[in-house]
Amino acid sequence: MSRFVLDCSVGISWFMPDETNDDAEAILAFLGEGSEAIVPSIFWLEIVNVLLVAERRNRIGEEDVTEALAMLSALRILVDANTVQQSTGATLELARQYRLAAYDAAYLELALREELPLATIDNRLAEAARDCGVFMEIPTLGDIEF
């Protein structure tokens, strides 16, 4: 089984009709193949917030939010228990160094601490992950065995 850190940008793109992304779809397929994602404790709040804002702006419906959360809950996504403890130290320093939002730096910090690749489609976070040597090279759909 492969493990990786899953960024909110990837997870949310699975449910936004105007934000579909081939790399994100490949990550979903990879996750569906028995891989396991680990996320900082803020992941679920970010996901719910983005879905709620999209609902309020009539980009998606209430049923879509319910379906998205059910689908995400069915995936192998583990929540890191140490995100908060890292926020005033390593996460803060990474946010400063790479000019990231603190919540984006939390994904990078987790990838570095766990020595796992970071799956993101956020350009700034991807650049920081590449610089740190933890960017997940996205498997193409043809490389994933079903």
- 8-61 tens-digit pLDDT: 999 999 999 888 888 899 999 888 888 999 999 999 999 999 999 999 999 999
Cβ atoms of 117 and 111 within 8 Å: the answer is yes
pLDDT at 141 over 50: no
Per-residue pLDDT, 1: 60
Per-residue pLDDT, 118: 96
Kindly report the number of other CB atoms within 10 A of residue 139's CB atom. Answer: 17
Nearest to 134 by CA among 102, 120, 115, 89: 115
Per-residue pLDDT, 146: 31
Number of domains observed in the structure of the chain: 1
CATH of the domain at 68: 3.40.50.1010
pTM (whole model) above 0.85: yes
What distance in Å separates the CA atoms of residue 40 and residue 34, rounded to the nearest whole number? Answer: 20
What distance in Å separates the CA atoms of residue 43 and residue 47, rounded to the nearest whole number? Answer: 6
Q: How confident is the model at residue 144 (pLDDT cuts 50, 70, 90)?
A: very low
Q: How confident is the model at residue 115 (pLDDT cuts 50, 70, 90)?
A: very high
- Its domain, for residue 22, covers 3-143
What confidence tens digit (pLDDT) does each residue in 81-108 have? 998 888 889 999 999 999 999 999 999 9
More confident of the two residues 138 and 117: 117
What distance in Å separates the CA atoms of residue 11 and residue 103, rounded to the nearest whole number? Answer: 15
